[in-house]
Structure 1
């Protein structure tokens, strides 16, 4: 549920429209490719966790036995930067939707509520955080399941009296990538992958909990196997239904009504737009909650064992074994996000989402490298098919990363480069 909470946020409710606009109905290919990539990455994470005798906090704790302390340090800081950007992006999203639900209230008040509530939940205890995140994730998953059930029903029994049409995918050859299916060609599919990878980012969050999970050798791989199918299903199936029931150009409008609200409204559910708005707010706040957890644990992991005054302060635990000061530092970025979103406006969310795609791609590449080292150093851990599949996915992700650098604004590439250089050269031997 923690992985679902991290992965099902504004990427689905805000990002799906942008992805469809870039690729048209062919966005389904982007989601399937990203889903297959995610499966190989997360399978490798599960293998790395089960082949460790000692489990340490943070993403570095997963990869350090395989890539070494320096590159583990690099991975942890890039991952921390990723989730700091997620915090800002999700906060901007939840404040915007709260403003739509309760107009006339300044957005900074909503942002303050989000910051205080998310920080308080994380400061209390790990148990309280986990319980809260479970129910937040449960609510939004329940709505998605209802949407899938309603969508399938309409797909098979719809007589079009509710105004549903299915013009998105005409009977043309998809092999030739006809304009009706892929109006922007291969380049559109690659562009949409940026948003899709951002949407799936957060699935690897289960690995960060390894040091605070009872019997992680069994719990983590089980959670990974279960969450993969659910995440792929909760993205691919709703997008497919949207494209079948509504004109894809209507679905692709990020500033238009939510496709969820449109479908529920047309079948006669009163106040469907308000209900969906509340669900979206819960979904995005859940992602904020998860982001605070991820950033604080990554920061705590990097500061543990440090002899500096700052390091000792940030690695101090409360009586409930919570890294209080790391949580406060990480959640402080929420207030910076309020200022940035006010200054940069609507384009701010898209910039942050694209930057997250850069950094999460790097983290996935590092996880794949760690998994490959494990596979080749320990015979019997993986079959040759798994080794080959992991190698292919690593090459594909590397190509996607290069494509991101070439096709995106130079400011975005420089932003990602600064994060990477700072993460790499800040390493010091203990």
Structure 2
């Protein structure tokens, strides 16, 4: 029988060594925060330019797919909470080889993303405070969040909770400012009305092809929600917590994305060059001082929040692979605080290497990582 068809062994009992220190509120905000990244604040204009106002349909389709997938993943996580999450479920269904492949690919993706987020956040911060060297800032970010993850899951969860709160508050505030602008409630600011939904070629200026092209961009915006399934294994009462988190996260993310994009489309014509930084463009139209700086700092927070969550996810996946003998056994070791410290350190090595490369090759590392 081929290895991919061999039934995987049950999840080892050692997985319970990670403990259950995460609170349900932290799990919910972790899922929200992981999906609300810098791409929303800085890159959502790409989707608008690809499809025009009809990008809202792309978000609805992508959101529906995410809700379906997350509900299915939530049921599996509630039935079998494990740090390997979908890697373990793939192993149970299709064999150990399939499960290991899924786990390793996800881990490799995350360690590259961690490096990109550290260098990217440092680069954005340098646009506000040019005196801060990008390599030094990236190194500081890596050291700080490595320490947070080594101190225990409770500390990680609390940091991620407040990071997510800041991002959600920024989006809610942005939507409220946009509504006030559209309703004509802001002093000395004329309301653009809703004409941008129908002008410049109509609601679907690029037809179904535009919606499809935007969908390729939009679907990546929802990446990160799967971290909820990984974290379920370390949550109090995982069966109930994961179900609540999945229901809450999927719908709220959809509302936040649709709400903020609706404001952007209403205020900024989809043909405008200002969509390079759509949130800043709306705030500038509302005559909010320091709009560009504020959005840049929020984007830095978004990147650092994602870095924190991705480091957690990568370390737990590596720990799970080690427990299943799909990675070196030493990576499955935990300290008295129930932290898989070797897996954490293994997951940040590439990020530290990237910061060193940024020092040697300034402004060359991030484009390579993103491509």
TM-score range, shorter chain: 0.7 to 0.9
Asked if 2 retains the 8 angstrom alpha-carbon contact of 1:93 and 1:349, the reply is no
The yes-or-no answer on 1:83 pairing with 2:110 is: yes
Select between 96-105 and 185-194 the one with higher mean Cα deviation.
185-194
Q: Secondary structure at the match of 1:202?
A: coil
Q: Secondary structure at the match of 2:131?
A: coil
The yes-or-no answer on 1:8 pairing with 2:36 is: yes
CA offset at residue 275 of structure 1?
Answer: 2.5
Asked if 1 retains the 8 angstrom alpha-carbon contact of 2:55 and 2:214, the reply is yes
The yes-or-no answer on 1:296 pairing with 2:315 is: yes
Asked if 2 retains the 8 angstrom alpha-carbon contact of 1:20 and 1:252, the reply is no
Distance 1:276 1:227 in 2: 23
Runs of 5+ unmatched residues, structure 2:
1-28
Runs of 5+ unmatched residues, structure 1:
172-177, 352-430
CA offset at residue 213 of structure 1?
Answer: 1.4
Distance 1:243 1:7 in 2: 21
Asked if 1 retains the 8 angstrom alpha-carbon contact of 2:83 and 2:231, the reply is no
Q: Which residue of 2 aligns with 1:322?
A: 339
Deviations 1:87-143 (A, max 9, x none): 133223312210111013321111111111111111110000000000011011011
Select between 325-334 and 338-347 the one with higher mean Cα deviation.
338-347
Which of 102, 113, 126 in structure 1 is aligned with 2:140?
A: 113
Distance 2:163 2:315 in 1: 20
Asked if 2 retains the 8 angstrom alpha-carbon contact of 1:92 and 1:349, the reply is no
**Structure 1 residues 29 and 39: alpha-carbon distance in aligned structure 2, compared to 1, 3 A threshold:** same
Instruction: Please report the TM-score for the alignment, with normalisation by the length of structure 2.
Output: 0.83
Distance 1:82 1:156 in 2: 43
Q: Which residue of 2 aligns with 1:313?
A: 330
Asked if 1 retains the 8 angstrom alpha-carbon contact of 2:38 and 2:300, the reply is no
Deviations 1:349-377 (A, max 9, x none): 652xxxxxxxxxxxxxxxxxxxxxxxxxx
Distance 2:77 2:103 in 1: 16
Instruction: Please report the TM-score for the alignment, with normalisation by the length of structure 1.
Output: 0.72
Distance 1:79 1:180 in 2: 40
Distance 1:349 1:234 in 2: 28
CA offset at residue 74 of structure 1?
Answer: 2.0
CA offset at residue 181 of structure 1?
Answer: 3.0
**Structure 1 residues 92 and 164: alpha-carbon distance in aligned structure 2, compared to 1, 3 A threshold:** farther
Asked if 2 retains the 8 angstrom alpha-carbon contact of 1:88 and 1:333, the reply is yes
Asked if 2 retains the 8 angstrom alpha-carbon contact of 1:45 and 1:62, the reply is no
Which of 172, 176, 184 in structure 1 is aligned with 2:206?
A: 184
Distance 2:278 2:331 in 1: 43
Distance 2:239 2:281 in 1: 44
**Structure 1 residues 51 and 66: alpha-carbon distance in aligned structure 2, compared to 1, 3 A threshold:** farther
Asked if 1 retains the 8 angstrom alpha-carbon contact of 2:113 and 2:369, the reply is no
Distance 2:305 2:168 in 1: 11
**Structure 1 residues 345 and 120: alpha-carbon distance in aligned structure 2, compared to 1, 3 A threshold:** closer
Which of 10, 17, 22 in structure 1 is aligned with 2:45?
A: 17
CA offset at residue 20 of structure 1?
Answer: 1.9
The size of the alignment, in residue pairs, is 339
CA offset at residue 152 of structure 1?
Answer: 1.6
Distance 1:346 1:322 in 2: 30
Q: Secondary structure at the match of 1:11?
A: helix
